[in-house]
Structure formats: structure tokens, C-alpha cells
Amino acid sequence: MLKVASYNVHKAIGTDRRRNPGRIIDVLNEINADIITLQEADRRFGARAAAIPQNLLEMHSDYRAIPLDVQTDSMGWHGNAILVRKPTRVLALDIMHIPCLEPRGAIIGHLEFEGKQLAVFGMHLDLSGLWRRRQAAAIIKHAQEKEQDMPVLLMGDLNEWSAASGCLKDFSRAFQMVTCGRSFHSRRPIATLDRIMHSDGIHSTEAGVHDSPAARKASDHLPVWANITVG
């Protein structure tokens, strides 16, 4: 059994408009997941420095960010990052260019837990419905190719406000959608923007939204999570 989660950390800027990476780390520790994909994990302008300093993360949690070595001071790629428990074996990692109107990307981690391997996709899709569907098509194609070798887990902020249309329809044709719940806005959740999806080689047993006093302040999104079994 693995616990996985996805969290748009809003560059560590909370609902009080203060940047406080320590609050994000507190929420990560509350979630207590084995794998967490992050969105908006880097600052937007300048050198795109990590919103959560790596040394702070490692000092105050059991997580480490999979090193992508793409941007010097960043945690991830276009704000996407994958956090894993420190003993987790990372076999490979990659970045994915996707069609975009504004800078967007996806990341893929090839991970191993207790002898079982899986590919984890982290993503943050466009605000535009047309570009979201183009991005979804590219990610689905790549994920289905990966699925031939191992189970695939996809997590992130899809920015899709509809209940079942748009890119959700595209993803649901190829993968199982986990029902987590409304995650945005953290103060009063009205939209199911953050999603967890998986291939047939993975089974979800329980899922939800992590709604705590700390999470309501740390970011404008609440984290979503699921318990899964692989194989």
C-alpha cells in the first residue's frame, strides 16, 4: 500500500499573501504520503528559484525532491516537482515538453517501492481549454507508451472546472480517475481542479482532500491524496 498526493503549493504564498515555505512543509508532513507531486514549486520570475529551499525540506521532513538538473536553482520543471520519501529508489527521471500558450511542462519519475516499479507523471495544465486538451493528448500518448513497461500514475492540477468534459473526458478514456474531492479555493473549496489518475496496473482503495487549518492557510489549493496498491 502506498499513499500518494498532489499539491499546488502556489509558490509557498498562503491565503494571507505571505510567502512561508515552512507552512508548506508542515502540510507535507501532515499528508504523510510516500509520493507527492507539487505544482508551482518554483518562483515565477527571475531565476525561477525553488519556493521551498531544499535544505529546509530535508531538515524538517522525510522528503527529498527528485533532482531534474534542468534549472540550477529550481526544484522542478516549469514549477512541477516530485517529492519522495528519502529511502525511495529513483531509477530514472525525465522532463516532457507539451504544447503550450504559456510556459508549461510535465515531469516523469521512474520509481521503485519494495521491488515494484511505477512511472509517476506530474503536471500543471493550461488555463485555456483548447491548450489543456492538446497538453492532455500529448501526456496521454506518452503515458500509454510507458504503460507498456510498468503501471502509470498521473497527478497534478488540471485546471479543468467542468465535471466530466474537456481534458477530463480525454484522460478518462485512457486511465482511471480517482474521486478525491474539491480542492480549490482552500478557504472555500468549490472546484475539483487537482486530480489523481492511474493505469489498470494500479488500484486505489481510498482517497480524499487533505483539509486542515494549516492547509487552508499555506496555499490557495488543498492537497488531494489516495491510497493505492501497485500490481
pLDDT tens, position by position, 101-121: 777 889 999 999 888 999 999
Cell of 127: 488555463
State how many domains the chain has.
1
The reported pLDDT for the residue numbered 88 is 86
The reported pLDDT for the residue numbered 56 is 95
CATH of the domain at 120: 3.60.10.10
Domain hosting residue 148, numbered range: 2-230
pLDDT over 70 for what percent of the chain? 96
**Which of 57-61, 75-79, 123-127 shows the lowest per-residue confidence on average (mean pLDDT)?**
75-79
Query: Mean pLDDT over residues 87-95, rounded?
Result: 90
Report whether pLDDT(46) > 70: no
Residue pair 222/36 in contact by the 8 Å Cβ criterion: no
Distance CA 99, CA 217 (A): 33
pLDDT tens, position by position, 62-82: 999 998 766 666 788 889 999
Q: What is the pTM of this model?
A: 0.95
